[in-house]
Each structure stands twice: as C-alpha cells, then as structure tokens.
Amino acid sequence: MIKKQNLWFLTLFSLILVLGVYYVTLPQDLLDRVNNVVDKTTSKVTAVTEENALVAMRVSKEEERQEAMTILNEQLTNEQATTEEKNNAYEQLKYLNEVQGKEESLEKKIKKEYDLDCFIKIDNIDVSTICIAKKHDVKLANKIMRLIQKEYKERKKITVKFQKK
C-alpha cells in the first residue's frame, strides 16, 4: 500500500515532469512573446513607482504625524495628566496641524507658480523640499527657496532637492 507522503511526492514529481516537458517543447516565438510581456510589465511597474515616490513620502509623513497626534490625544484625555501636560499636548497638536496646513499650501504654491510636483516637510526651522523635475536647476531652486522664505517672518533653513522624472 502506498503511503500518503509517497503519493504526494509522486504527484508533485509527475507535475514537475509534465511542466518541464511542456516548457522544452514550447515554440521559441511563444517564449519570446511571454518574455516581452514580462519585460513590459516590469517597466510599467518601475515607471509607476517613480511617479508615486512623492505619494510614498507623503504617506510616510502622514503616518508619523498620526502616531504623534494619537500620543498627544491620549495625553489630553488622560485623567492623571496635569494641566500643564495637557496644555503642552494641546499646543503640540495645534502646531502639528499648522505645520501640515503650511506644507500643503506651499506645495500648492510651488505647483501653481512653477508647475512642479513637490514634497515639503517642515521640522521646526528646517524645511525640506523635494521636487520632481527633468533637470537640476540652481536658479529654480533659489526661486523656490525665496518663495518658501516669504511665508515666514523668522529665518528658516530651506533645502531643495530634485528627483528626475
């Protein structure tokens, strides 16, 4: 009597053998077409990931902010927290909301004025900007830096990086 393990082995071995024979007897032009389809699919996936680099950065930033806001909300609702701790948590929440709004408005201004898709992250005095452009342009980077600095009274450390399309 054949054991279950031996039966599975024979079944899988025969399946592998049949697929191997099928692959060997497959016409060459069919293999070329299959390889072309695989290559086209891979190139499309690569193009999509490059276009969505900004979206990935935004999602990552949003996740970080959500975590921070969740912690601050827990502090606000904690009955054992002091009034000062609650006030600090409230101020930090307010600051995070202001920063988020400022980042979005700056991204829209850069899109409107220079027709560039950008990602902006504000961290205290640091303002990091990543723009998608065909070439790296120093003059454009300076214009973007001036546009961002106009939005603030105090001096900011602004960086502008370009990523190719």
Mean pLDDT score of the chain: 82
Q: Could you tell me the CATH number of the domain that includes residue 69?
A: 1.10.287.4300
Residue 118 three-state SS: strand
Q: Which residue has the higher pLDDT, 100 or 33?
A: 100
Query: How many structural domains are present in the chain?
Result: 1
Residue 131 domain boundaries: 35-163
Q: Identify whether 9 is part of a domain.
A: no
Q: Write out pLDDT tens, residues 109-151.
A: 999 998 888 899 998 889 999 888 887 888 988 999 999 999 8
pLDDT of 59 strictly over 70: yes
SS3 content of the chain, % helix, strand, coil (to 5): 70, 15, 15
pLDDT of 1 strictly over 80: no
Q: Identify whether 88 is part of a domain.
A: yes
